[in-house]
Amino acid sequence: MARGRFIALEGGEGAGKSTQAALLSAWLDSLGVPHLVTREPGGTPVGEAVRSVVLERTDLEMPAQSELFLYLASRAAFVDQVVRPALAAGRTVIADRFNLSTMAYQGYGRGLDLEEVRRAVALATGGLEPDLTIFFDVPVGQGVDRQRKGGLEPDRMEREGASFMQRVRDGYLALARTEPKVRIVSATGSPEEVHENVRRLLVAELPETFRLDTV
Ligand SMILES: Nc1ncnc2c1ncn2[C@@H]1O[C@H](COP(=O)(O)OP(=O)(O)OP(=O)(O)O)[C@@H](O)[C@H]1O
Ligand SMILES: [Mg+2]
């Protein structure tokens, strides 16, 4: 059986990752591509336990290194128990955030050394990288406005404020230039416009899976 494709959706808060994941999933359904949409912790028991500390316990002060390793503790279980089995079974995996988030948030955002973060990420994932990472780029203010309208409680990252978010966005843009298999899609348009561009990108980048006649 052919291995499934692994696609990561990335971007700052309110960029529209989850919205685009849902639109992409509907398109894959119409193409008959077996897939799953995941978001860390992805239902792993280790990941759920970690999540309750790293995102929800906003009262806990912690060093950036602790934050990094908590995320990566979750990532290791997610890769081992969710992503690799799905890919091996021939399913395409759409991950709502993955390794680029760690580089952007804990590297550029928190200021940890990027090469050290990269090595820690590789240790956690056993070297697994997406076939394609899509970075949804939106100005920080626009993303925050969208989220505010959504009305959810801010998590640890969302409480960090504008200068942190700006470092994260600049980091993503730098990473999109230097990391392999990362493409930028502007996320300032309507959800449908952004999704159109996602379709075009996938057909261009992964034509074996995503067919032109269906765009
Ligand atoms: N292109 C868009 N234009 C306007 N609003 C949008 C667009 N995409 C998503 N939204 C809205 O903005 C809010 C945030 O979108 P979404 O949850 O998809 O972002 P996200 O990147 O997953 O955010 P988070 O980082 O919090 O997970 C939602 O209320 C959503 O309906
Ligand atoms: Mg989301």
The DSSP H or E segment spanning 199 is: helix 191-205
Residue 190 Cβ < 6 Å to ligand 1: yes
pTM to 2 decimal places: 0.96
Show me where the domains of the chain are located. Answer: 6-214
Closest atom of ligand 1 relative to the 194 alpha carbon: 1
Kind of pairing, strands 92-96 and 132-137? unpaired
Q: Provide, for the chain, the percentages of residues in helix, strand and coil under a 3-state DSSP scheme, each rounded to the nearest 5.
A: 55, 10, 30
List all residues 6 or more positions away from 101 whose beta carbon is below 8 Å from its beta carbon. Answer: 10
Residue 13 Cβ < 6 Å to ligand 1: yes
The partner residues of 185 in beta bridges, in order of sequence, read 136
Residue 171 and residue 176: Cα distance in Å, rounded? 8
Give the right CATH number for 6-214 from 1.10.357.10, 3.50.50.60, 3.40.50.300, 3.40.50.10490.
3.40.50.300
pLDDT digits (tens, 9 = 90+) for 122-139: 999 999 999 999 999 999
pLDDT digits (tens, 9 = 90+) for 4-27: 999 999 999 999 999 999 999 999
Residue 58 has pLDDT above 60, yes or no: yes
CA-closest residue to ligand 1 atom 25: 13
Distance 155 CA to ligand 2 centre (A): 12
In the three-class reduction of DSSP (H, G, I as helix; E, B as strand; rest coil), residue 194 is classed as: helix
CA-closest residue to ligand 1 atom 10: 16
